[in-house]
Chain A
């Protein structure tokens, strides 16, 4: 009987200790939870100075090739915000498929970003190598989204399809940029300049709007004329060596932060 009582008392003590610890934690959370805010990334698709319209408008690249666009999709992943002191905030499960054909996909809202001044926005165009080999995924990475290669498995990071009268054969343009292994790794991580070098001020009272211009010509017009893509000779890319050229181009010139407000 006494043995039972001792054991019972021991259990009660343990239980009480647990309760104490958890109560204390809750109180601390309430007191110390820092304020957070939202950052809304807006991806505005353009071709040079013109808005991107699917199929209807003919554009011209630096090589002088006229072209139209039927499909323009890309992955944005692993979004990070960095403060001046080096503190980094990373979005969890940060995978977004942005599509010209789906307006809602062109807005990515970063939730619960700790309030503060951020001097750098960083993201990957594409999908990190770990997720390329991680098995069946859901959400943005689900293989039914038409952005997964089944025969050479891995994600298509950027997909542009269209038409150019100067492309050989059936005039089709197919640019499927992807591949995560050397020597044809096309994962590109960029930190576009903040307008006027002004830090991003994240606060609870205001959803910060970061408006990015995403210029399709950034894929085809390279940093130097040698990097320009000419549809007379390059019009059908599915990963591989040529995909690296396009990835280098768009890492350098496709994304620009237009304004922040």
Chain B
């Protein structure tokens, strides 16, 4: 009789098994409510960890509303989404410089916003160190939104809908700058692009086929470009002078942040994901096409004291020698980095 009694240990085991069953149950889950919650297997460890601002649907939706909110600008004319457009991987297509309030012209090309969770520093010169603080730069820049954090909070606190939505996520009370910045980061951290044909190719998945030309391009890329455009994020997060100019009087790049002469003319190596949709290229948007960019590396590189050593060949030649055929191969490969699902994901689009 006693042998039939479940002992506490057995109960415990059964209980644990129950828990495990729940955790490990194979799922046909609906699409994530918060996009970008999953960390792609071919990416390194994220810099802005999930647990720093745990993804939450209400906070994400609030962050999205703020991203597309024109109240963030002084005169209500522009939002983040005005210059960071989803169809261009959250860059601005065909604009070297974007327009801020009063139609003021910016001084650098609006960079794509994607895979920001993995970025060690933000902006072309790396001036911002934490994703949550990123919005303060465009918000306060006179040629962008020309607004103060104080005034944005006044406007948001005066809006009953925002008050309710913030209270629902962060609890009752006036909206604080910390809540505002963390809500925006819920959206910007969700902009993960890892679903290109190239990704399916590396994962050996269905639909992951590359043409012979694209594979040639990939091989050449790994040999000649991946020194800077490293890992499957296609950037090593460093700052480099890629030989655009002989001097940098109008924009010293990284040196603007570090006040160090050896950083003059260096800019953040950009990711190349969705690069076919983020034209124009470079920090000043000087190149309109990928063909022009590749031609620059072949024969346009200009010498200066801080030119990246990888752009000086052993024979003294500058740049990366590329035949016309090689340039075509590289361009074909770069187009496999387009992630159509990211560019058209309705969850990232402006709320109706």
> A residues engaging B (CB < 8 A)?
2-3, 6-7, 10, 132-138, 142-144, 148, 150-154, 181, 183-184, 239-241
Q: Return A174 CB to nearest CB of chain B, in Å.
A: 15
CB of A153 within 8 A of CB of B178, answer no
Q: Return A170 CB to nearest CB of chain B, in Å.
A: 18
CB of A144 within 8 A of CB of B260, answer no
Listed by A's residue number, 6 A-B pairs whose Cβ atoms lie within 8 Å are: A3-B6, A6-B5, A7-B6, A133-B130, A138-B177, A153-B128
> B residues engaging A (CB < 8 A)?
5-8, 11, 52-53, 127-133, 136-137, 139-141, 149-150, 153, 176-178, 180-182, 185, 256-260
Q: Which residues of A contact B140 (CB under 8 A)?
A: 150-151
CB of A135 within 8 A of CB of B137, answer no
Q: Return A23 CB to nearest CB of chain B, in Å.
A: 24
CA A3 to CA B178, docked complex, whole Å: 53
Q: Return B140 CB to nearest CB of chain A, in Å.
A: 5
CB of B258 within 8 A of CB of A184, answer yes
Q: Known interface pairs A7-B11, A135-B52, A143-B136. Does A154 touch B129 (Cβ–Cβ under 8 Å)?
A: yes
Using A136-B132, A142-B177, A153-B130 as known contacts, list a sample of 15 further A-B pairs with CB atoms less than 8 Å apart, ordered by residue number in A.
A7-B6, A135-B185, A136-B133, A136-B180, A142-B176, A143-B133, A143-B136, A143-B177, A143-B181, A150-B136, A150-B137, A150-B140, A151-B140, A184-B258, A184-B259
Q: Which residues of A contact B136 (CB under 8 A)?
A: 143, 148, 150, 153
Whose C-beta in chain B lies nearest to the C-beta of A183?
B260
B181 is contacted by which of A136, A151, A181, A241 (Cβ under 8 Å)?
A136
Q: Which residues of A contact B260 (CB under 8 A)?
A: 183-184
Q: Return A217 CB to nearest CB of chain B, in Å.
A: 25
Q: Return A82 CB to nearest CB of chain B, in Å.
A: 31
Q: Which residues of A contact B130 (CB under 8 A)?
A: 133-135, 153
CA A144 to CA B181, docked complex, whole Å: 12
Q: Known interface pairs A142-B177, A143-B149. Does A150 touch B8 (Cβ–Cβ under 8 Å)?
A: no
Whose C-beta in chain B lies nearest to the C-beta of A129?
B129
Q: Which residues of B contact A6 (CB under 8 A)?
A: 5, 7-8
CA A142 to CA B140, docked complex, whole Å: 15
Q: Return A145 CB to nearest CB of chain B, in Å.
A: 10
Whose C-beta in chain A lies nearest to the C-beta of B6?
A3
CA A136 to CA B127, docked complex, whole Å: 16
CB of B8 within 8 A of CB of A7, answer yes
CA A241 to CA B132, docked complex, whole Å: 27
Q: Which residues of B contact A134 (CB under 8 A)?
A: 130
CA A153 to CA B259, docked complex, whole Å: 14
CA A3 to CA B6, docked complex, whole Å: 6
Q: Which residues of B contact A241 (CB under 8 A)?
A: 259
B177 is contacted by which of A132, A144, A181 (Cβ under 8 Å)?
A144
Whose C-beta in chain B lies nearest to the C-beta of A11?
B8
CA A3 to CA B3, docked complex, whole Å: 11
CA A7 to CA B9, docked complex, whole Å: 10
CB of A239 within 8 A of CB of B127, answer no
Whose C-beta in chain A lies nearest to the C-beta of B133?
A153
Task: For the complex of A and B, list the 6 residue pairs with the smallest distance between their C-beta atoms, beginning with the closest.
Answer: A240-B259, A136-B181, A135-B132, A150-B136, A133-B129, A10-B8
CA A207 to CA B260, docked complex, whole Å: 47
Q: Return B102 CB to nearest CB of chain A, in Å.
A: 20
Q: Return B36 CB to nearest CB of chain A, in Å.
A: 17
Q: Which residues of B contact A154 (CB under 8 A)?
A: 129
B178 is contacted by which of A7, A133, A138 (Cβ under 8 Å)?
A138
Q: Which residues of A contact B141 (CB under 8 A)?
A: 150-151
Q: Which residues of A contact B259 (CB under 8 A)?
A: 184, 239-241
CA A260 to CA B46, docked complex, whole Å: 49
CA A3 to CA B4, docked complex, whole Å: 9
CB of B177 within 8 A of CB of A153, answer no
Whose C-beta in chain A lies nearest to the C-beta of B131?
A135
Most chain B beta-carbon neighbours within 10 Å: one of A144, A148, A152, A240: A152
CB of B177 within 8 A of CB of A151, answer no
CA A6 to CA B5, docked complex, whole Å: 9
Q: Which residues of B contact A184 (CB under 8 A)?
A: 258-260
CB of B177 within 8 A of CB of A136, answer yes
CA A257 to CA B256, docked complex, whole Å: 38
Q: Which residues of A contact B256 (CB under 8 A)?
A: 152
CA A181 to CA B11, docked complex, whole Å: 56
Most chain B beta-carbon neighbours within 10 Å: one of A7, A133, A134, A151: A151
CA A6 to CA B7, docked complex, whole Å: 8
CA A204 to CA B127, docked complex, whole Å: 47
Most chain B beta-carbon neighbours within 10 Å: one of A134, A144, A148: A144
CA A3 to CA B7, docked complex, whole Å: 8
Q: Which residues of A contact B180 (CB under 8 A)?
A: 136
CB of A150 within 8 A of CB of B177, answer no
CA A154 to CA B260, docked complex, whole Å: 17
Whose C-beta in chain A lies nearest to the C-beta of B149?
A144
Q: Which residues of A contact B185 (CB under 8 A)?
A: 135-136
CA A184 to CA B262, docked complex, whole Å: 14
Q: Which residues of B contact A137 (CB under 8 A)?
A: 178
CA A176 to CA B182, docked complex, whole Å: 27
CB of B182 within 8 A of CB of A136, answer yes
